[in-house]
Structure 1
Amino acid sequence: MARPREFDIEVALHDAIDVFWTLGYGGASMEELIKGMGLTKGSLYKAFGDKRSLFLMALQRYIDERLTRYEVGLTRPGSPKAAIREILLDYVKRATDPFDTRGCLVTNTTTEMATRDPEIARVLAGMFARLEDLFAGAIARAKASGEVDASKDERALARFFVLTIQGVRVMSHMRPDPRHLASSVEVALSALSSGPISRTPDNPAPAH
């Protein structure tokens, strides 16, 4: 009978996410991963394979957890338009959190690896496609309920909001004032209606 593993695979995988998230793929040596995951070299290789295989597993787990958060937020009961606004403004809060300057693992990986690793590029493209689907679904429901003009193209708007999220994350590294980023989100949200753009609060709620 095979000897049972002496560590929790899920805990170890989340520890790997933290290492890659902090150091990037290129900066995360096997020594750093072994240290961060609290495993021996043999245990790491046996459970996860090589560094690249481990990274793909960690990235997919990170993506799955983020998409679940978006799905819960964008499919909740109530106003779809309000849900979209809350999702985007919540992203601003998280992107400007002064206690976590690592950024987004997806955005970091896109800039570091997408142009030179086709498999990772496909994983990232799948994530963005799923996020677009979630936004498009929320916009379609908003159209059906009369919150958004029926002539609006939900796919074009969904792609626009995905681009907005990525833009917020990139710009948060250069100009992290949440008021500036929140005002840009309000401009993006104005695409959902012909009404006036909502005024951004002078003192938005702090990030958590």
Structure 2
Amino acid sequence: MARPRGYDRETVLDRSMELFWRLGYDGAHLAALVAHTGLNRFSLYKEFGGKAGLYEAALDKFLGQLLSEYRAVLTRQPLGLENIEAVLRALQYGSQYYGCFMINTLTQRDTVPEAAYAKAMAAGEEIEALYIGNLAGALARGQITPGSNVSGLGKMLQALDQGLHIQGLAGATDAQKDRVISAMLAGLRV
């Protein structure tokens, strides 16, 4: 008969996500992961296959939460600039801001597991598609200039979104972020 787990998988994922988020993939050494999660090495390898598997599982959990938040705002009807503004303004930096785990994964391409990088890229593409849908809605509602290239603008919004996360990591304030968002919206509106 199999021994019951001596740990809660969700707690392990939350704690490992926090450590990877703060220290990056390379910085979160196996000993630190064991100490921070309370998981022993044997259980870590049995449950996740090692550090790479634990990273991917933590990223999966994060991406599930992140995409749920983006979908909740960017699928509200009617689609348009209000949704875009709401999702961008929801980002808050604060003193314990470690960036976005998805963006951190993308910027650590050479060190993170390839499967994790691919998952982060796919999530970014979904967010871009949600932006494009709202831009199409904004175009149909006359909120942006007729004939606007919604695909190109969607790529621009995704780049802005990712850039805001990186600026927050670099120490930008919420007021600075809000000025960037206001300028971007002013440039989009008819």
The question of a shared fold, defined as TM-score above 0.5 by the shorter chain, is answered with yes
- Percent identical pairs in the alignment equals 28
- Pick from 160, 167, 174 the counterpart of residue 164 of structure 1: 160
Structure 2 CA distance for aligned equivalents of residues 152 and 6 of structure 1: 56
More displaced stretch, 106-115 vs 163-172:
106-115
Q: Which consecutive unaligned segments of at least 5 residues does structure 2 have? A: none
Report the equivalent of 1:173. 169
* 2:5 alignment partner, SS class: coil
Residue identity matched to 2:72: V
Structure 1 CA distance for aligned equivalents of residues 183 and 15 of structure 2: 38
Report the equivalent of 2:68. 68
* 2:179 alignment partner, SS class: helix
Provide TM-score, normalisation by structure 2: 0.88
User: Kindly tell me: are residues 52 and 176 of structure 1, through their superposed partners in 2, closer, same or farther at Cα, counting changes over 3 Å?
Assistant: same
Report the equivalent of 1:188. 184
Report the equivalent of 2:51. 51
Deviation at 1:126? 0.8
Q: Which consecutive unaligned segments of at least 5 residues does structure 1 have? A: 195-208
Deviation at 1:115? 7.6
Deviation at 1:15? 1.4
Structure 2 CA distance for aligned equivalents of residues 120 and 151 of structure 1: 37
Report the equivalent of 2:128. 132
Report the equivalent of 1:34. 34
Provide TM-score, normalisation by structure 1: 0.81
- Pick from 152, 157, 176 the counterpart of residue 148 of structure 2: 152
Report the equivalent of 2:80. 80
* 1:148 alignment partner, SS class: coil
User: Kindly tell me: are residues 163 and 82 of structure 1, through their superposed partners in 2, closer, same or farther at Cα, counting changes over 3 Å?
Assistant: same
Report the equivalent of 1:107. 103
More displaced stretch, 158-167 vs 169-178:
169-178
Residue identity matched to 2:165: R
* 1:113 alignment partner, SS class: coil
How many residues were matched structurally?
Answer: 190
User: Kindly tell me: are residues 170 and 119 of structure 1, through their superposed partners in 2, closer, same or farther at Cα, counting changes over 3 Å?
Assistant: same
Deviation at 1:159? 0.9
Residue identity matched to 2:118: R
Residue identity matched to 1:31: A
1:149-171 superposed Cα distances (whole Å, 9 cap, x missing partner): 44222211111111001111222
Residue identity matched to 1:7: Y
Report the equivalent of 1:9. 9
Verify the 8 A CA contact 1:157 1:191 in the aligned structure 2. Answer: no
